[in-house]
Amino acid sequence: MPDRSAAAQASRSTDLNNEVVERFPRVLDQVPAVYAFVHRFLLAHGISGSAANDIHLATEEIFTNFVKYNNGGQGDIRVAVRHLPTTVVVTLIDPDTHEFDITVVPPLTPSEHLDQRKVGGLGIHFVRKVMDEVHYRYHERTAEITLCKHLESDRAEHSH
Amino acid sequence: MLNIRIDDHGVVYLQGRFDASQAASAQQAFQPLQGTQVFDCADLEYISSAGIGILLELAIRLRGGGHAIKVVNASPYITKVFEYAGLRQVFHIG
């Protein structure tokens, strides 16, 4: 059965004009630089509004997770953004980390009651909420998280 | 960049992007806040879990004194993020 996911499509794409890659030091001060990098790409491809915000949110959450939970890791974090006909694919790669598959983390149901709330734990929850596909791969200390946003699903969301 | 301004009536105005790079400075700016706080988010363009966490931390602290956070003028996108965080009622967002 062929893999028809957007991530699989992305890995087969050879149009380099539709992909940009950049490396960022693993510090939280780099978050605005990651935003600017993704923003430039989305703008060049005419992607804005809610879809762009969703992509920025998920990208930041993964980048900050890589930074916060792997302080001692070596090497920069790589961010790649690719535009397929109806999908934006963002891939974040940490080249020196432990295995932590975010796709198997139990779903979170945040309580509306403040006395039952604790600070933290929302990042992965947001990623799942705003992205259409999330993929995780781990091999030889390298973690790769791929985020897919289907642009037509965003348009459909706003037509209702 | 996140700009935080507090007017003479104690209303807190957030402007810009409340991301993880701004969390520490925002946490420091919110430290003196006491009593129920109104946050005007008309010019808040973006918020991530890091920003939400700082606001939630403040809300939990204020709640100890019987006070709360009220968020006003948030854009539909910011409201959606608060809703995903389960904070729409907690922050009294209409």
ipTM of the modeled complex? 0.94
Which among A29, A119, A126 has the least Cβ separation from residue B21? A29
A123, closest residue in chain B (CA to CA): B49
CA A95 to centroid of chain Cα atoms? 16
Task: Give CA–CA dist A91/A147, Å, rounded.
Answer: 6
What are the φ/ψ torsions at residue A33 (nearest 5 degrees)?
-70, -40
Q: Do the strands A87-94 and A19-24 form a parallel or antiparallel pair, or are they unpaired?
A: unpaired
With an 8 Å Cβ cutoff, are A53 and B46 in contact?
Answer: yes
A29: distance to nearest CA of chain B, Å? 5
Q: Tell me the torsion sign for CA atoms B28, B33, B37, B40.
A: negative
| E runs forming strands in A2-158 | 19-24, 77-84, 87-94, 133-139, 142-150
pLDDT of A4 above 80: no
User: Residue A17's pLDDT band (boundaries 50, 70, 90)?
Assistant: low
Note whether A115 and B63 are within 8 A (CB). yes
How far is residue B42's CA from residue B13's CA, in Å, rounded to a whole number?
A: 8
At B6-28, the pLDDT tens digits run 999 999 999 999 999 999 999 99
pLDDT band of residue B85 (cuts 50, 70, 90) is very high
Instruction: Tell me the pLDDT of chain A averaged across its residues.
Output: 86
What is the C-alpha to C-alpha distance for residues B42 and B65, in angstroms, rounded to an integer?
27
Helix pair angle (A123-130, B76-84), 10° resolution: 120
Average pLDDT over residues A6-11: 50
Spatial distance between the Cα atoms of A151 and A88, rounded to a whole number of angstroms: 7
Mark which residues 24-83 of B lie under 8 Å from A by CB: 46, 48-50, 52-53, 56-57, 59-60, 63, 77, 81
**Residue A95's pLDDT is what?**
96
**pLDDT tens digit string along A102-154?**
999 988 888 777 777 777 789 999 999 999 999 999 999 999 999 999 997 55
Q: Per the CB < 8 Å rule, is B21 touching A122? A: no
**Rounded-to-integer distance, Cα A147 and Cα A52, Å:** 13
Residue among A60, A109, A114 whose CB faces B19 most closely: A60
The pair phi, psi for residue A16, each rounded to 5°, is -70, -20
In this structure, what token pair is assigned to residue A11? Answer: 């890995």
Q: In what order do the strands lie in the sheet with A87-94?
A: A19-24, A77-84, A87-94, A142-150, A133-139
Question: What is the average pLDDT score of chain B?
Answer: 94
How many Å lie between the alpha carbon of A142 and the closest alpha carbon of chain B? 23
Residue B94 has pLDDT above 90, yes or no: no
Alpha-carbon distance of A103 to A94, in angstroms, equals: 16
CB pairs under 8 A between A and B: 74
pLDDT band, residue A7 (cuts 50/70/90): low
Backbone angles phi, psi at A137, to 5 degrees: -135, 145
Listing DSSP states for A53-91 in one string gives HHHHHHHHHHHHHHHHT-TT--SPEEEEEEEETTEEEEE
3-state secondary structure of A131: coil
pLDDT at residue A13, rounded to an integer: 41
Instruction: Provide the pLDDT for residue A44.
Output: 94
Using a 10 angstrom Cβ sphere, with 0-12 exposed, 13-18 middle and 19 or more buried, the burial of residue A32 is: middle
Flag whether pLDDT at A55 surpasses 80.
Answer: yes
Contact of A70 with A98, CB cutoff 8 Å: yes
Does the beta carbon of A33 lie under 8 angstroms from any beta carbon of chain B?
no
A141–chain B nearest CA distance, Å: 25
Amino acid, res. B13? Y
Place of tokens 């939280």: A28
